[in-house]
Structure 1
């Protein structure tokens, strides 16, 4: 990839992280901030939006760090495991999803809590990963399915750890959507940028 395309990837992902966090932030905490919209308090709205932009930049940087770390690991995995790297990624994805459910339940659930609320987020992330992987295959080829599923499912959950530790609903929602959006953007735009760099 040329340096120009890398700069484009960096800044577009940064902007996407900031903008998505603004929308998600106001949506998640609408009950708290709706009064500023009904009273047309522009100063408060802008100050909150600027705070969300800063948080969105952080989420975007976490997403980009996770993506480039995965690309490095992917290269090592291909060299070390060769044709077995695909099955290894499937096993790791299952392991991360299981731990995501099990560790959260054993850490935060109180006596009598149902398991289902801890399973649903994992299932939703997995379904989203399958959808993204399907479209990634259409963009490239069938070999992209497992790496895409692994990145969207397993790596996103690992990137989500700061909010998972806090286990506060607003922070969980505020972080997961920008992460998924940034990760998806990087997956699809990197291929196009690489094609452009080759030309």
Structure 2
């Protein structure tokens, strides 16, 4: 990937993150924002929207950092374990480990008396379903070797990026940050092979000249 493609990916992801953060943030507290409009607090309303957009942009940058960090870790993993098959098995084990850690530690930290542990399966299960759908899409557009790395990135890396709001258990920010991260991560992983393919084609054309 050349610099132009990377900058295009960066700014596109940035705008997507800002837009998603704005929309989800508004929907989470739509009543308070609607009341602000009816009360004539237009300036305050616009500042709030700008803040949500800026926050979404920050989350998108975090998503991009995680994405490029995983690309590095993925190459290291392939070299360390010697084969894509063994590295995939290691990633599957880590996915299972993170899934149950996310359930167990959140249950231990936030469960009220008589609250069932099943309630704490909802968030990781929903993330896993989205991750699997994204991985299946990636597999369809590329090859079957892309399934596990995509699943790992979408689940494990998203959880790591999500930790700042998962620990305080602030439901508002869990929604805003979670949806923004998932959207940005899915966009990056699904667009990457197209950018690389275009770059490879251009390189071949230049060599032909």
* Residue in structure 1 matching 2:170, options 168, 171, 191: 168
User: Match of 2:66?
Assistant: 66
Partner residue of 1:147? 149
**Alignment partners' CA distance in 2, 1:193 and 1:152:** 19
How many residues are aligned here?
199
2:77 alignment partner in structure 1: 77
CA distance in structure 2 between the aligned counterparts of 1:40 and 1:142, rounded to whole angstroms: 55
1:21 is the counterpart of 2:17: no
Match of 2:52 in 1: 52
C-alpha deviations, 1:130-151, integer Å up to 9, x for none? 1111110111011111111111
- What's 1:94 paired with? 96
* Post-superposition offset of 1:189: 1.2
Distance 2:151 2:199 in 1: 25
Other structure's SS at 1:129 match: helix
Instruction: Tell me which residue corresponds to 1:187.
Output: 189
Structure 2: gaps spanning 5 or more residues = 202-209
Over the aligned positions, Cα root-mean-square deviation in angstroms equals 1.2
Query: Separation in 2 of the partners of 1:185 and 1:41?
Result: 35
Q: Aligned-pair distance for 1:40?
A: 6.7
Runs (4+) off by over 4 Å: 37-41
Give, in angstroms, the shift of residue 41 of structure 1: 4.8
Partner of 1:11: 11
Q: Secondary structure, in 3 states, of the residue corresponding to 2:115?
A: coil
TM-score by length of structure 2 reads 0.91
Deviations 1:145-196 (A, max 9, x none): 1111111111111110000111111011111000000000101111111111
Question: Which residue matches 2:113?
Answer: 111
Q: Extract unaligned runs of 5+ from structure 1.
A: none
Shift of 1:36: 3.0
Structure whose CA Rg is larger:
2
Structure 1 residue 45 displacement after superposition: 2.7
